[in-house]
Amino acid sequence: MATSGQMLENPRTGDQTIFYQTAQETGGALVRFEERRSAAFSGPPAHLHLHQQEHFEVLEGTARIQINGTNQFLRAREQVTVPAQTSHTWGNGGQTPVRILIEFRPALRIEDFIESLAVLGSRGKNPTHLVKPNVLQMALLALEYEAYLAGPPIVLQKGIFLALKLLALLLGYRASYTGADAEMRKLPT
């Protein structure tokens, strides 16, 4: 479980996630964290969260926020909110690193999802970026955290992912990589 001031760091990419407010601290109302990503960060595939809105505020650099297939390029102090069940993705939209504040409402289990992706990325189970797991891992994550690809229809994804779940579990994949698996550290004060 994340706490304010803790950071997830991917030693292979240098990407960092710093938690500012957690589900436990806000009674489940929200999770707020900063993402620090390199200029090469292209972002996750377009996806949606069934029950959460996601708010982005750029702190430094330029972020590319895609909502329903349309790109917006936001700079420092610019922000946008993506409603639940809306197709979106984000990535670095410039030539320098980007720092972006992200907030999920309600919190649900997004901290565990972020932690699991960071652990997978830092362990080499994901050779490109920590947000692009293979299809077996993605099936487990989608079912566990209710975050689905923007297409095909969710009902079809659920059917396919349920069919893949048994195979993924038999091959040693897990739906969650949190707690002792996570490589988290407290930020210096």
Q: How far apart are CA 58 and CA 92, in angstroms?
A: 10
pLDDT tens per residue across span 28-67? 999 999 999 999 999 989 999 999 999 999 999 999 999 9
pLDDT confidence bin for 189, thresholds 50/70/90: very low
pLDDT at position 132 is 55
Residue 114: CATH number of its domain: 2.60.120.10
Residues 6+ apart with CB under 8 A from 50: 84, 85, 146, 147, 148, 154
Residue 90 pLDDT exceeds 90? yes
Tell me how far CA of residue 130 lies from CA of 55, 79, 81, 133, in angstroms. 21, 24, 23, 7
Say what the pLDDT of residue 15 is: 87
State which residues form the domain around 35: 6-186
pLDDT digits (tens, 9 = 90+) for 121-177: 776 544 444 445 688 998 999 999 999 999 999 999 999 999 999 999 999 999 888
Distance, in Å, from the CA atom of 126 to the CA atom of 118, rounded to the nearest integer, reads: 10
Q: Is residue 1 part of a domain?
A: no
Count of domains forming the chain: 1
Cβ 2 vs Cβ 19: under 8 Å? yes
Say how far apart CA 155 and CA 138 lie, in whole Å: 16
Is it true that the peptide bond before 106 is cis, omega within 30 degrees of 0? yes
Q: Which residues contact 125 (CB under 8 A, 6 or more apart)?
A: 133, 137
Q: Which long-range contacts (CB under 8 A, 24 or more apart) does 172-176 make?
A: 173/136, 173/137, 173/140, 174/140, 175/116, 175/140, 175/141, 175/143, 175/144, 176/112, 176/116, 176/144
Residue 105 lies in a domain: yes
Is residue 45 a part of any domain in this protein?
yes
Residue 26 lies in a domain: yes
Nearest to 139 by CA among 118, 164, 174, 115: 164
pLDDT-derived band at 19 (thresholds 50, 70, 90) equals very high
Are 34 and 99 a contacting pair, CB within 8 Å?
Answer: yes
Number of other CB atoms surrounding residue 80 within 10 Å: 16
Please check whether residue 169 lies inside any domain of the structure. yes
